[in-house]
């Protein structure tokens, strides 16, 4: 195991001698300073979070009967505006499609609509003929 560890050192032995000792000390001092600064900043952030929660918790408990319904109302209002906008865009798209269809510009899906209309009209004629036949049979009996 020790043999493998020696093979995976970060620098070969001959490169470590090329750096002066002072350069290594500066690198170490910089690393310690940066690490210590970040550690202090982390501690200050934790302390500020705990203090903020300590101050905010009673306020949240006092105002929760107002804040919870207000939050629900805001979400519902936002959802309503979003749905309204979506329905408006859909309506404009449909109206645009109908305008293109009526002016003969052949929008996408016009062939399917014409085929469905033809099939529906054929079925309606068949049903009308069947009803007329059944009425005439019923009247002659």
Residues 108-131 pLDDT 10s? 998 998 899 999 999 999 999 999
Q: What average pLDDT does the segment 16-34 reach?
A: 79
Is the pLDDT at 74 greater than 90? The verdict is yes
Q: How far apart (Å, rounded) are the C-alpha atoms in residues 7 and 1? A: 10
The per-residue pLDDT for 17 is 55
The per-residue pLDDT for 113 is 87
Q: Residue 19 — φ and ψ, nearest 5°?
A: -85, 135
Q: How far apart (Å, rounded) are the C-alpha atoms in residues 89 and 79? A: 15
Q: Whole-prediction pTM value? A: 0.46
Residue identified by tokens 């501690």 is 43
Q: What average pLDDT does the segment 13-17 reach?
A: 53
Q: How far apart (Å, rounded) are the C-alpha atoms in residues 20 and 23? A: 5
**DSSP helix/strand/coil, 118:** helix
pLDDT bucket at 106, cuts 50 / 70 / 90: confident
- How far apart, in Å, are the Cα atoms of 32 and each of 8, 16, 39? 24, 20, 10
Residue identified by tokens 């009673």 is 58
pLDDT bucket at 30, cuts 50 / 70 / 90: confident
The per-residue pLDDT for 112 is 93
Is the pLDDT at 4 greater than 80? The verdict is no
């Amino acid at each position: 195991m020790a043999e493998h560890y020696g093979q995976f050192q970060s620098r070969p032995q001959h490169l470590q001698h090329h750096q002066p000792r002072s350069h290594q000390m500066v690198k170490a001092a910089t690393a310690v300073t940066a690490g210590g600064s970040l550690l202090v900043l982390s501690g200050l952030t934790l302390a500020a979070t705990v203090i903020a929660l300590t101050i905010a918790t009673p306020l949240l408990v006092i105002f929760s009967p107002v804040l919870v319904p207000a939050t629900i109302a805001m979400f519902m209002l936002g959802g309503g505006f979003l749905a309204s906008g979506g329905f408006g865009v859909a309506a404009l798209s449909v109206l645009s499609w109908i305008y293109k269809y009526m002016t003969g510009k052949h929008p996408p899906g016009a062939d399917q609509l014409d085929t469905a209309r033809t099939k529906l009209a054929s079925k309606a004629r068949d049903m009308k003929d069947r009803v007329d036949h059944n009425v005439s049979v019923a009247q002659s009996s």
